[in-house]
Amino acid sequence: MGIYIFSVGTASAFCLVAYFNIKTALIVKNIERVYRKEGKNGPFWYNYDAKLKFIFAPNKLIDQKDSDEIRAAKQVLINHGKSIPKQVGWVILVLAFTGVLTILFSIII
């Protein structure tokens, strides 16, 4: 029984992480679409510096040379990035709850 609880909890945590990553990918694809629409080359997804800025200094993603539409698209990404601690908290909470339930069922059975 404990392995089932652990599996469900792990799958739930995986779904939370996958949801956040898919949402991030869609936002980044929108940024790249806006870049292409303006005739610029913005390989945002594969740009290592942009990834580091997204994680450690999200406000530095916005450049003074960016158009208003690009800034708006990047602001959506920045706002989404602010929810990372909340998402990590949910994943930790789900895994901790799963661990506690697994231990309780192991003790009972």
Q: What is the pLDDT of residues 78-106, one digit of tens each?
A: 999 888 888 888 889 888 888 888 888 87
Per-residue pLDDT, 75: 93
How far, in Å, are 42, 72, 83 from residue 36 at the CA level? 7, 15, 27
Q: Which of 98, 88, 82 is nearest to 17 (CA)?
A: 88
Give the predicted TM-score (pTM) of the model.
0.77
For residue 66, give the DSSP letter.
Answer: S
- Please report, for the chain, the start and end positions of each structural domain, with discontinuous segments joined by +: 2-31+44-108
Q: Is the pLDDT assigned to residue 74 strictly greater than 70?
A: yes
Q: Is the pLDDT assigned to residue 109 strictly greater than 80?
A: no
pLDDT digits (tens, 9 = 90+) for 19-73: 999 999 999 999 999 988 988 876 677 888 888 888 888 888 888 888 899 899 9
Token pair for 107: 């003790």
